[in-house]
Amino acid sequence: MQLTEQEGAVAPGTSATVLRRMREAFFVQGLDVARLDVQQEVGRQAGADADRARKHLADGRAHALLDRDYREAESLGVKGSPTMSLNQGRQTLYGNVGYRIIEANIQELLREPNPDHASWR
């Protein structure tokens, strides 16, 4: 969907809408989003162009984009979702981290934005 949006074949924001609706279909409605028919219906309802999406899968561009995402995540040290990388990669908050921990780390970075100093909170 990102590729079809980049090509201007669908309205801006369509790929984000499809992604959100896919998550809703899985987490809220309990649908099997691994099934092609479910993906196509969710995408259709979100304004996606299923024919173009299939074309991008068939010609390998969608898989290449996914591989690029995996490589970028690996280079950034992303182990799962959610992952927050702070202080130019020196701090990583991963998984079920409480909002107070996130806030403390961000407040410390704002207070002392020097990458050579450690965050003590």
Query: Do residues 43 and 1 make contact, with C-beta atoms less than 8 angstroms apart?
Result: yes
Across residues 32-47, what is the average pLDDT? 93
pTM tops 0.75, yes or no:
no
Does residue 119 register a pLDDT over 80?
no
In the chain, the percentage of residues whose pLDDT exceeds 70 is 93
Per the listing, tokens 């074949």 go with 9
79-90 residue pLDDT tens: 888 898 888 788
Q: Which distant-in-sequence residues (6+ apart) come within 8 Å of 115 by Cβ?
A: 87, 88, 90
Does residue 34 register a pLDDT over 90?
yes
